[in-house]
Amino acid sequence: MTEEIIKRAQEWLDPSFDAETRQAVQQLLKGDPRELEDSFYKNLEFGTGGLRGIMGAGTNRMNRYTVGMATQGLADYVKKACPAPYRAAISYDCRNASPDFARITAEVLAANDFTVYLSDTLRPTPELSFAVRQLGCNIGVMITASHNPKEYNGYKVYWNDGAQVVAPHDKNIINEVLGISSPSQVRFTGGAGRIETLGAEMDELYLSAILSLLKLSPDAIKKQKDLKMVYTPLHGTGVHLVPEALRRMGFCNLYHVPAQDVNDGNFPTVVSPNPEEPEALRMAVEKAAEVGACLVMATDPDADRVGVAVRNDANQIQLLNGNQTAALLTWYLLMKWKENGQLKGREYIVKTIVTSDLLRVMALDYGVECYEVLTGFKYIAQVVREQEGEKTFIGGGEESFGYNVGEFVRDKDAVVACALIAEAAAWAAEQGRTLFHLLTDLYVRYGFFKESLMSRTMKGKDGMEQMKALMNRYRMEPPRQLLGSPVVLVHDYLKSETVDMVSDLRYTIQLPKSDVIQFVCMDNTVVTIRPSGTEPKIKYYFGVRDVLEKAEDLHKTETQLDRKIEALKALF
């Protein structure tokens, strides 16, 4: 451990820090050197989702001082970049310390001459995005660590378009935050009278707006209003608004998991509140089996992502992955828009580069443009902002269980996604089908697309260095073939360059630079590798495909694709 790290820790023993913080730092200095190093070896940085980190004392932890310093830097940047008056909307999720971090953020912004609209209780992230635009705010801040374990919290920053910040604002905010070297530079007080309460009136505006985008199949909903569904908020913010949205649509047979309706930042009923993890949906799936429900939906703590389970061809509850849910929702929207005469020739969808190519193939079939962007929903929102008034956004999604419809919200939105999933299920039921049958139909029509994700956790300073070394190796020595299929394209998003491995020609990638590398094989196998922007992980995305001639061959073809994916994972 360097003397600099010890010195940084000792600075937090100053009386300007509260007694609880000083005591925690004393324990770190006397205790585990590795924990001390990880707490102080760097400042908590903005990644693809803003600030996110373990709660505790230290410069690399989420606490009132790092939140205050980030907020001061944010305020300084907004006042340089935007004309007065200044406005901000702030909300928070169910995590431990979230209300305190939200209050600190509000007080610092108020002390910096902002009028602040602070939620009176926990609210979903998409509602915060909506509120920013509705209230004409310069910025919004959502206190949440999304689906991370209970030790984490986070701080998502939204710009005036309701989307998470992108270049140049993200880097400029970081530069301003770096200029705040001590909590003594933060205006923690002095904003009396500038904080206003944001309550149920915004709920009403938000629900009315997003529900105006749906009911594409009103007759199906009316006839299938008793469709049995199970919903769980996983202890989070979706607990009120998702059931209310479904009720307003006309659905009246929604089952809950009572233990998970309790807002609790310790997430006592799950190992991790991540709807990507099968364990997180276990209790909801058990409830569905008990009551005979055909659909299960689970939203993460800040209700921007949703996990889905449906009854398969054996009448068993089967979990869908994020690509499958996005494919179903995209197809349902495209099909209904065409049926209703809403496709005029200027519509588009958006997906990320690691999301299934099935979305792009379907869009092409319906004559709808498909934009591809970097990983992170803020890049989907950026396309929506750039095309606003020129083209019509139908919907967009990413493999990590995020989806959105329309332009009211500029982030992934599990509330509207749950409503759309329920509507699609009702439409399918009216045809004597299930969502699983619809997905099988898509595979027969467009090809069986199968994807999988593998993550390697690499914590702390050593982990960061290991991830950097791995990415350098993949760049310097890209594979020539994968499972016998030649690699024909290498997309290096950090170099902004595509290399055609056959002709050796090079093409410029017209996307922001990002530490992502992607290998595309002759047989349409795609492998994408990137360090996570929100977790200490390096992520490997695998995509394979094959022809599915008839529904009866589904399981045989899926087994073959699964074997191929497992073989790819073994290579990496």
Active site residues per annotation:
146
Of 95, 86, 170, which is closest to residue 125 (Cα–Cα)? 95
Distance CA 103, CA 125 (A): 16
Q: Which residues contact 200 (CB under 8 A, 6 or more apart)?
A: none
Q: How many helices (H) and strands (E) does the chain have?
A: 18, 23
CA distance 276 to 153: 19
Residue 55's closest CA among 116, 25, 97?
A: 97
Contacts of 292 (CB under 8 A, 6+ apart): 228
Question: Which residue type is seen at 205?
Answer: L
The 10 Å Cβ neighbour count of residue 324 is: 24
Kindly state the tokens that stand for 282.
């276990």
The pair of three-digit structure tokens given for residue 125, joined into one six-digit string? 């992230």
Q: Is the dihedral of CA 405, 411, 417, 419 positive or negative?
A: negative
Cα–Cα nearest to 413, from 437, 380, 444 = 380
Which residues face 451 on adjacent strands? 543
With b for 16 or more beta-carbon neighbours within 10 A and e for fewer, the 355-393 pattern comes to: bbbbbbbbbeebebbbbbbbbbbbbbbbbbbebeeebbb
- DSSP state at residue 451: E
Distance separating alpha carbons of residues 485 and 503, to the nearest angstrom: 16
Residue ranges of alpha helices (H) inside 83-191 are: 98-111, 125-134, 169-178
Helix pair angle (414-430, 322-339), 10° resolution: 70
Cβ atoms 309, 279 nearer than 8 A: no
CA distance 177 to 187: 13
CB 479 within 8 A of CB 519: yes
- Please state, in angstroms and rounded to a whole number, the distance separating the CA atoms of residues 330 and 210: 16
Please answer whether residues 420 and 394 qualify as being in contact, where contact means their C-beta atoms are separated by less than 8 angstroms: no
User: Can you give the three-state secondary structure of 187-255, one letter per residue?
Assistant: CCCCCCCCEEEECHHHHHHHHHHHHCCCCCCHHHHHHCCCCCEEEECCCCCHHHHHHHHHHHHCCCCEE
Residues 109/186, Cβ–Cβ less than 8 Å: no
Q: How many residues does the chain have?
A: 572
Q: How many CA atoms lie within 13 A of 69 on its CB side?
A: 24
> Read out DSSP for 468-525?
HHHHHHHHHS--SEETTEEEEEEEETTTTEEEETTT--EEE--S---S-EEEEETTS-
